[in-house]
Amino acid sequence: MSSPPGRRARLSSPGTSHQPPDAREELRRRLKDLIEGNRVMIFSKSYCPHSTRVKELFSSLGVDYNILELDQVDDGASVQEVLTEISNQKTVPNIFVNKVHVGGCDRTFQAHRSGLLQKLLNEDSAHDYDLIVIGGGSGGLSCAKEAANLGKKVMVLDFVVPSPQGSSWGLGGTCVNVGCIPKKLMHQAALLGQALQDSRKFGWEYSQQVKHNWEAMTEAIQNHIGSLNWSYRLTLREKGVTYVNAYGEFVEPHKIKATNKKGQETFYTGSKFVIATGERPQYLGIQGDKEYCITSDDLFSLPYCPGRTLVVGASYVGLECAGFLAGLGLDVTVIVRSVLLRGFDQEMAEKVGSYLEQQGIKFQRKFTPVSIQQMEKGSPGILKVVAKSTEGPETVEGVYNTVLLAIGRESCTRKIGLEKIGVKINEKNGKIPVNDVEQTNVPHVYAIGDILEGKPELTPVAIQAGKLLARRLFGGSLEKCDYVNVPTTVFTPLEYGCCGLSEEKAIEVHKKENLEVYHTLFWPLEWTVAGRDNNTCYAKIICNKFDNERVVGFHLLGPNAGEITQGFAAAMKCGLTKKLLNDTIGIHPTCGEVFTTLEITKSSGLDVTQKGC
């Protein structure tokens, strides 16, 4: 029985055959990766009859093979030149079997007749797997599935160490289980509560008291998450990826120890490794934090309503959780050590905070907890929190049912044996430095996702990076993950979407005198009849005056900001300018159309408040 047609390798190449030395070295490395990463690698031309004969031979032997058609890549001439330097052969087909150069058509058939070809084919990899991925989150699964699509033998190791409160979850990582997915669903639950209030103004009449059932909500959300966990396991099985629910730890450069929940150890070897272990919430390191506090690891599956809640930290996680808890009718306080939404545009961050205060959330600024004491047990219990000022000796006390910590996340890189194989990490934060192809200082070990030094900690970034990494390692691609102009949204009750630079960062990069900032407050049509404030929603773009007024920062505070920002992010990838926005006809009546009519600049000092519709 013959094998499926050979898998086609992808190899993009910049420019002409007269390449600069760096580009040529990059091409050489990619070709070597193809040769070393595939059992049978055929460099061919689609119209060559000798190439066709070789492909038919391997198919008749039932041997899968990878092909790179030199007449179908951007720079086949350069590829063939570098291939000649590697193999001393100028013609195609040019065949490698298990890293050994066999030669062209005639020499391959000679090797087949003499038995040498079969011997080479039997000398398969000395390792159990072509690729072992440590971490079954969004990035790890993306990389594993793409590598399997390219014909590689792949294993995924995933193990959730229970939180101090005992919470754990299934395959899929933070986003699916304790991050983006349950967060957005609880955000939606809170928005439905606001919609109920607005509905009376639109003529809806209902007499019974409307209340929220926490247990019904969490059960429905956990059921949905469970279905996603199952679908991920099924997809891995369909693609032939080996999934092991065990904790992975390096013991040798190409060998890992996998420990399951019963403590049983198994060892596996791999040619290449991808670390995609993600992060977990940090704790305060004070009396009572791990004993009595919860984090986002626990909140979304909490079996009881949290009641009066103190959120410690004003990160996007903290403010999102505070927002939907308040939206569900709970008494919420946020304690803030320094600024809101560190790393985001601070004007926008303060507007987010102002809206949260309007929704009844209380802020304690410039304080940090120093002790947490349990007053009463229960579900929820009663906790006393003592907090100290960051600016003096003042202390305050408060009594809460639940304390939710959202003070940052820590990379899961310190207990996976990286020191045994020499992979460097930033000792301060556990992040892994990599080059522009996600490669660590150990050549066969790569890293993706939230554990990377200086890269956005976002699920879609990890997914893209993982997919492109697999294509570079096993498909001959040169495409790298673009970490510039990555859009994101903070799902507070009034959403904040952004793409590109904050105003502070834009000034640092481009200088204030080179920038023009266009902005306005606006009143969504849906808010008018509902009687909601007409000067809360805000739009802002930051333009580089000396680059055609190219938009370098996009910021929106308003309903559905995530949906709106996604579209403008694509435009920014295409080089969006203020003129292009002016030339775009808006969709009326929408919130997004406000960006097509921006006229007032900050430098003009003109008022942007709305006087009417």
Enzyme catalytic residues: 588
In degrees and rounded to multiples of 5, residue 34 shows phi and psi of -65, -45
Angle (nearest 5°) at CA 230 between 563 and 256? 105
Q: CA torsion angle for 81, 87, 90, 95 (degrees, to 10)? A: -110
Distance CA 27, CA 478 (A): 8
**Do 416 and 249 contact (CB within 8 A), yes or no?**
yes
Q: Residue 343 — left, alpha, or beta (φ > 0 → left; ψ -120 to 50 → alpha)?
A: left
- Give 3-state DSSP helix, strand, coil % of the chain, rounded to 5: 35, 25, 40
Secondary structure element (H or E) that encloses residue 97, with its range = strand 94-97
Number of alpha carbons in the 13 Å side-chain half-sphere of residue 203: 0
Residue type, 125: S
**Do 367 and 336 contact (CB within 8 A), yes or no?**
yes
**Which residues on adjacent β-strands are paired with residue 517?**
542
**Do 12 and 73 contact (CB within 8 A), yes or no?**
yes
**Do 140 and 172 contact (CB within 8 A), yes or no?**
no
Quickly tell me which residue has 């020191």 as its tokens. Answer: 419
Give the max Cα distance, the chain: 89
**Which residues on adjacent β-strands are paired with residue 141?**
none
**Do 361 and 332 contact (CB within 8 A), yes or no?**
yes
Distance CA 392, CA 238 (A): 60
Distance CA 368, CA 388 (A): 6
Distance CA 165, CA 541 (A): 43
User: Which of 497, 527, 566 lies closest to 351, judged by CA?
Assistant: 497
Distance CA 69, CA 48 (A): 10
> What SS3 string covers 358-401?
HCCCEEEECEEEEEEEEEECCCCCEEEEEEEECCCCCEEEEEEC
**Do 328 and 302 contact (CB within 8 A), yes or no?**
no
In degrees and rounded to multiples of 5, residue 228 shows phi and psi of -70, -40
